[in-house]
């Protein structure tokens, strides 16, 4: 089955969707994105992703090419057209193109590029990795200073992922001034004496939609949450560690820089949070 994608108002077979070589997303990484998870054919926390998208656009003074209802309809149509039971929907908006290359933004009124595609991932919520946990390495955080904006400039996170792979691990936690910022494509957490510790919001990390939901569920379950920066040394001495993202949900981290975290197996708090997050998100899915 040929994948149907969305580009600037049209639903097209993927090989018919074409974008200008002058598109600023291509030339300047001048674009933002969102990834929304589909479970059982329904969208998880669509409202959260739509809200963050709006914020990313506004921080970059980019026009919004479609409203909430239109975006929701496009997501749903792609789920239908591609028969997605479990998977992801990738959305990207760029500042478009005015037919040449220039550092200055194009003239006002230049249409943005709006593109979406689906990725089918059967059994996404029952990933075997969650039973085993993942291994991470630490690397310096060498990204730009506005990580709260979800831009498509993902070269350093890609390099980090490759450094992890080369080291026989799954991902990298990035370190700045001795403190963990986040994973290459996820937020980072440790658990010490029953307290869930994760970095506070700011320009240094992406404000994860999964993070917001997991912290809400944790507080509702009377778990203690501390939003503050933690050091790599704290992480190495933690009882448990985990990451969150729209596609990984809550994923236990069992090793950091070759050192086992706690027992070296997924811990009870991370496992419980994963269960709660998946259950509650399914219930609220649209
Ligand atoms: N941090 C970074 C750097 C990310 O790329 C992502 C996922 N895009 C996250 C955190 C997690 O965000 P979310 O829970 O919204 O997927």
Whose C-alpha lies nearest to ligand 1, atom 3?
185
What is the mean predicted confidence (pLDDT) over 218-226?
97
pLDDT score of 165 = 98
Q: Which atom of ligand 1 is nearest to the CA of 34?
A: 8
Whose C-alpha lies nearest to ligand 1, atom 9?
186
CA 246 – CA 35 distance, rounded (Å): 7
For ligand 1, say whether the CB of 210 is within 6 Å of any of its atoms.
yes
For ligand 1, say whether the CB of 245 is within 6 Å of any of its atoms.
yes
Q: φ and ψ at 36, to 5 degrees?
A: -110, 135
Angle formed by the axes of helices 209-220 and 46-59, nearest 10°: 130
Is the overall model pTM greater than 0.85, yes or no?
yes
For ligand 1, say whether the CB of 187 is within 6 Å of any of its atoms.
yes
> How confident is the model over 235-278, as pLDDT tens digits?
999 999 999 999 999 999 999 999 999 999 999 999 999 999 99
With the most atoms of ligand 1 within 8 angstroms of its CB, the residue from 206, 207, 248 to mutate is 206
Q: Which of 22, 69, 62 is nearest to 46 (CA)?
A: 69
Q: Which of 153, 23, 32 is nearest to 100 (CA)?
A: 23
Which residue shows structure tokens 């009377």? 222
pLDDT score of 65 = 95
Q: Which CATH architecture has domain 129-284?
A: Alpha-Beta Barrel (3.20)
Terminal Cα-to-Cα distance of the chain (whole angstroms):
25
CA 247 – CA 261 distance, rounded (Å): 23
CA 130 – CA 69 distance, rounded (Å): 34
What is the mean predicted confidence (pLDDT) over 27-56?
98
Q: Which of 139, 145, 169 is nearest to 157 (CA)?
A: 139
β 240-245/187-192 pair status: antiparallel
CATH 3.30.470.10 domain locations along the chain: 4-124
Find residue 243's DSSP bridge partners.
188, 251
CA 176 – CA 188 distance, rounded (Å): 13
Rounded to the nearest angstrom, the distance between the alpha carbon of 267 and the centre of ligand 1 is: 22
Q: Which of 195, 183, 202 is nearest to 251 (CA)?
A: 183
**Which residues touch 7 (CB under 8 Å, ≥6 apart)?**
17, 18, 19, 113, 114, 115
Rounded to the nearest angstrom, the distance between the alpha carbon of 138 and the centre of ligand 1 is: 17
Give the mean pLDDT of the chain.
97
CATH 3.20.10.10 domain locations along the chain: 129-284
The fold of the 4-124 domain, in CATH, is D-amino Acid Aminotransferase; Chain A, domain 1 (3.30.470)
β 134-140/249-256 pair status: parallel
Rounded to the nearest angstrom, the distance between the alpha carbon of 105 and the centre of ligand 1 is: 27
pLDDT score of 255 = 98
Rounded to the nearest angstrom, the distance between the alpha carbon of 98 and the centre of ligand 1 is: 31
Q: Measure Cα distances from 143 to 156, 181, 204, 211, 228 in Å.
A: 6, 11, 9, 20, 20
Find residue 244's DSSP bridge partners.
187, 250
Where does residue 211 rank: exposed (0-12), middle (13-18), buried (19+ CB within 10 A)? Answer: buried
Q: Which atom of ligand 1 is nearest to the CA of 209?
A: 15
> How confident is the model over 115-160, as pLDDT tens digits?
999 999 999 999 899 999 999 999 999 999 999 999 999 999 999 9
HSE, side-chain direction, 13 A CA sphere, residue 251: 27
Residues with catalytic roles = 150
For ligand 1, say whether the CB of 182 is within 6 Å of any of its atoms.
yes
Q: Is the pLDDT of residue 1 over 90?
A: no
For ligand 1, say whether the CB of 174 is within 6 Å of any of its atoms.
no
For ligand 1, say whether the CB of 276 is within 6 Å of any of its atoms.
no
With cut-offs at 50, 70 and 90, classify the pLDDT of residue 187.
Answer: very high
């Amino acid at each position: 089955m040929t994948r149907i994608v969305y580009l600037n108002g049209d639903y097209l077979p993927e090989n018919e969707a074409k974008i200008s070589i002058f598109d600023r997303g291509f030339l300047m990484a001048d674009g933002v994105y969102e990834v929304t998870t589909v479970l059982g054919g329904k969208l998880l926390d669509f409202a959260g992703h739509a809200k963050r998208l709006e914020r990313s656009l506004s921080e970059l003074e980019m026009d919004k090419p479609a409203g909430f209802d239109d975006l929701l309809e496009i997501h749903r149509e792609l789920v239908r057209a591609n028969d997605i039971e479990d998977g992801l929907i990738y959305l990207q908006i760029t500042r478009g193109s005015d037919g040449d290359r220039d550092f200055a933004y194009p003239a006002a009124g230049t249409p943005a590029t709006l593109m979406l595609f689906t990725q089918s991932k059967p059994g996404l919520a029952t990933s075997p990795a969650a039973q085993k946990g993942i291994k991470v390495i630490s690397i310096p955080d060498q990204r730009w200073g506005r990580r709260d904006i979800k831009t498509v400039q993902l070269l350093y996170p890609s390099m980090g992922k490759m450094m992890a792979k080369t080291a026989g691990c799954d991902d990298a936690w990035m370190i700045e001034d001795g403190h963990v910022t986040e994973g290459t494509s996820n937020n980072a957490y440790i658990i010490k004496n029953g307290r869930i510790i994760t970095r506070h919001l700011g320009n240094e990390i992406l404000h994860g939609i999964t993070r917001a939901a997991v912290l809400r569920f944790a507080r509702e379950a009377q778990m203690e949450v501390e939003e503050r920066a933690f050091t790599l040394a704290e992480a190495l001495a933690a009882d448990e560690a985990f990451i969150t993202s729209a596609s990984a949900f809550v994923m236990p981290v069992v090793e950091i820089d070759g050192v086992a975290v706690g027992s070296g197996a997924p811990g009870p708090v991370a496992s419980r949070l994963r269960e709660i997050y998946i259950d509650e998100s399914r219930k609220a899915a649209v």
